[in-house]
Structure 1
Amino acid sequence: MAEPLSLIDQAKQRDEHAFLELLRRYAYIIVSVIRQYLHHIVGYDEDDLHQEIRLRAYHIMPDFRGDDVAFQCWLRRSTRGLCLNILEKQRQHEIIDMETLCKASLEQALQNTSLAPDAEYQRQQMLASVEEAIAALPEHFRNVVVLKDVDGLRYEEIAVALKVEVGTVKSRLGRARAMLREQLRGVRES
């Protein structure tokens, strides 16, 4: 008897119910990334971003090569890319009429401004180094780090997603973090 197709395989075959279930299952990724990047932006529509991600996912599904973890990584990267595009557009078009802001609004706006250019540059460099170091990890370590430290899943949820024991998740996470510390040692010292 043949094993039932996974949601990914069913979605690749344009099974609408499987595709919608896949997106429902991982909607938390879209929401968390959008809120992480756009929580202070006025005027963006979270539903529009969800729809754009759904459309992108629908178009890539027939050619998608990977499992649930790869899909989650793709979903995170795509959502992040959309958010960064929105932030860049806002920076390019942002005009603030300071005379119309009352004192309280001005204080709020100042709290939401980005870091000084040099500090922002250093932060961006560190973020790029961390992303590079994570990408360089072997897949079984990278998956655990992403699910725990990026997505914030509990050990039990990671174990289910990766189909391994909780102890294996903890062991892999410890080894992966040690590898990352070693890789990033030079970055922190500079």
Structure 2
Amino acid sequence: MEDFQSLVGRLLVAMPGIGDPRFEHAVILICAHGRDHAMGLRLDRPAPGVDLKKVLSTLNTEAPDDSADRAVLVGGPVERERGFVLHTADWTAEDASLAFGDGLAMTGTREALAAMVDPGKGPSRSVLLLGYAGWGEGQLEDELGENVWLTADAADRDLIFDAEYETKWTRALATLGVDPALLSGQAGRA
């Protein structure tokens, strides 16, 4: 049996011609990855017509005016009504946060939403995502073998948390030294 290599804390960067419009130019942070599953959050697609203030108001949570300037992202096509706060691990909720990678965490509670807008007590950086990307046993490994994704280090906090969504794919490729103009939508094996 071949050795398993977890991709937790790494980025998946979609190759051109991925064949699934839900993932064109996607940059996905892998939050959990075991032999039988993988789970990630897409970092580059704002949810149309939704901002943090609207979500907080809907949940009867205090929403500072500047929260209207913070986009909510489409984390993936699975459970799109479920929210996840991706944040730095300088704030976590006991028994609710999943710490992973190098100083990152994910929490799916109202407490995390309130912490997002509390500059004194919350995480230094955070973003709310609706839904996630998920893979069953062997599915992600098969896609990697078919050259559907490139993997990259996720050390750049700006790439993860900034609001420059339209450039995240190109910037993620640049961390690998890849020029997107030189990528082909055709997959192959040598």
TM-score by length of structure 2 reads 0.24
Q: TM-score, normalised to structure 1's length?
A: 0.24
The structure having more radius of gyration, on CA atoms, is 1
Q: Which has the higher strand share?
A: 2
